[in-house]
A and B are shown apart, each in its own frame.
Chain A
Amino acid sequence: MTEQRKALLLGSLGILGFLALWEAVGQGRWLGLSWPPLSAVLALLADENRQPLFARALGATLSSLGTGYAIGWAAGIGAAVLAHLVAPLREGLERTNAFIHAVPSVALAPLLILLVGREGTPATLAALNTFFILYVSTASGLGATQPALRDLVQVLGGSRWTRFIRLDLPLSLPTVVSGMRLAAPSALIGVIIGEWFGAPRGLGVLVINAMQNFQIPLLWSAVLLAVMVSLSLFAILGALHRGVVARLR
């Protein structure tokens, strides 16, 4: 058996073990009624009567996530490129971004409701989270070009712009894509917190309502859906990352 297959087998065993433990804790009520068995959560997710509810919530969350992620992605890369090309701006931009990122989302959400409305708040928080991670990863990717390669471009008479397009930008791709992967769960957190502050629909709304109304299996189903969204995005972007790294090495 090769190393890789062994790792795959053991990893699947670990995950199966975790799922079995989840089911057992729920069946045996070891943690009380607040921990439903996996089968009950899955049954609720598969329940036909609940499908429209889940579909509506998932649709709203995904559309906020998509909008916010796209805006944050473009703005984050744009700001990092600007900081890379205009050196005097760099330090200030970095500080400002770290500062904005450190403002607690729960504190930003009420302000955003004022500025962009209840519907726009989840997407805006997602955009802010995505922006920060894309900014940091793009900036570090652009700055990581080996000095020898830069010298080469200069010796061959390349302008700064040539260096940027031909050298820094392509070499930063793996770091940027790795940032895109990290940004996905972070953007989803932004959407969910934004929804907690009174968005009309979405997974976050479902979670908070279920929590307040003691609908335990519904709560777990909504959380599980959110986790699945995050993991799928993480897996897709992880595959993209592997592809980019393989292409550039």
Chain B
Amino acid sequence: MSAVLRALRASWGILAILLFWQIWVGLSGVNSIVLPGPAAILRSLADAPGLYLSSTAQTLALAALGLVLGLLLGAGLAVLTWFSSLLAGLLTPLGIIFASVPVVALIPVLARIFGYDMRTVLAIVVIISFFPSFVFTGAGLRALPPGSADLFRVLGASTWRRLTLLALPAAVPDMSVALRLAAANSILAAMVAEFLMGTSGLGYLFAAARSDFDMEKALAASAIATVISVTSFLLASRVENWAARNWR
């Protein structure tokens, strides 16, 4: 009983929205071509799960691969700037500028450069995950616990040891912030890119269903993306809490 109450306390808002939506669709009598209710969308999902499975798998794989590549590249470049203060001075302002650029606006440009296919979707997710990773890892590598850098110097630690034993562990909490910021965005960016370029995946499924006036299918595709995005956000928040507890 208390578990039910707790779940209700956490998700009353979402339930209220879904309920209101269902009732409004029922009362106003809008055509399901215009706006189907949540129940109809669920039914469409349950009727043909196979239809959504391959698109979901593809978008998910692209988003995950792009996320990992982007985070690794960003962290890698941040480590390079840690070695060289010249490189850090040259690249850090650029990184901050790009981190505040609305990357979604760049999708049409990137689509023209790389062509209308899956590689472009991957490139977009990589770019979106790259900048937070670069900026946050770079900040984390420099925000060392007070006194620790002096200790390492006194003990005559090599640069490599200072990196692997001091700076990288100190940067873990900041890297996990970058992960949380990028995780939920990666799947949404992949979907926008697929939607715009009409290649394949969830975004394409959405676009195709919408132009066929099959709103149930279109909204079912977005429901899947929403669930994945919420899940990855919650998982990444959990990683962030864990990192903040154990690495600080």
Contact = CB atoms under 8 A, between A and B. Distances in A.
B101 A114 contact: no
A185 B108 contact: no
Nearest to B210: A110
Interface stretch (A151-159, A162-170, A172-180, A215-223): A215-223
Contact of B226 (A95, A107, A220): A107
Interface string A96-123: 1111111111110011001000000000
B226 A104 contact: yes
B192 A10 contact: no
B112 interface: yes
In this complex, which of A105, A186, A204, A208 has the most chain B Cβ atoms within 10 angstroms of its Cβ? A105
Contact of A93 (B13, B97, B106, B113): B13
Given A10-B89, A15-B94, A223-B106, 5 more contacts: A10-B86, A34-B112, A102-B230, A107-B222, A226-B105
Interface residues of B, number: 48
A13 interface: yes
27 contacts: A6-B89, A13-B90, A14-B89, A17-B90, A31-B113, A34-B109, A35-B113, A91-B9, A96-B11, A96-B17, A101-B184, A102-B184, A102-B188, A103-B226, A107-B218, A107-B222, A110-B215, A184-B100, A189-B104, A189-B105, A192-B102, A193-B192, A207-B108, A208-B108, A211-B112, A223-B109, A227-B105
A18 B95 CA distance: 11
Q: Which of B35, B93, B184 has the most CB of A within 10 A?
A: B93
A86 to B, nearest CB: 13
A99 B222 CA distance: 12
Interface in B56-115: 86, 89-94, 97, 100-106, 108-109, 111-113
Q: How would you classify the secondary structure of chain B's contact residues: helix, strand, loop or mixed?
A: helix
B89 A95 contact: no
Contacts of A243: none
Interface of B: 9-14, 17, 34-35, 86, 89-94, 97, 100-106, 108-109, 111-113, 184, 188, 191-192, 195-196, 203, 206, 210, 215, 218-219, 221-222, 225-226, 229-230, 233
Contact of A207 (B10, B93, B105, B203): B105
Contacts of A147: none
Given A107-B225, A219-B108, A92 B93 contact: no
Given A92-B13, A102-B233, A107-B219, A223 B90 contact: no
B123 to A, nearest CB: 12
A11 interface: yes
A190 to B, nearest CB: 9
A188 interface: yes
A201 B53 CA distance: 37
Contact of A95 (B14, B206, B229): B14
Nearest to A203: B105
B30 to A, nearest CB: 8
B89 A234 contact: no
A219 B113 CA distance: 12
A231 interface: yes
A34 B104 contact: no
Interface residues of A, number: 58
B102 A188 contact: yes
Contacts of A100: 17
Contacts of A52: none
A227 B89 contact: no
Contacts of B89: 6-7, 9-11, 13-14
Contact of B92 (A11, A91, A92, A204): A11
A211 B111 contact: yes
B97 A98 contact: no
Given A104-B226, A227-B105, A95 B13 contact: yes
Contact of A99 (B34, B111, B203, B226): B226
A174 B55 CA distance: 43
B102 A226 contact: yes
A210 B105 CA distance: 13
Contacts of A211: 108, 111-112
B94 A18 contact: yes
Contacts of A10: 86, 89-90
B219 A231 contact: no
Given A104-B191, A192-B104, A88 B9 contact: yes
A8 B103 CA distance: 25
A104 B229 contact: yes
A230 interface: yes
Contacts of B111: 211
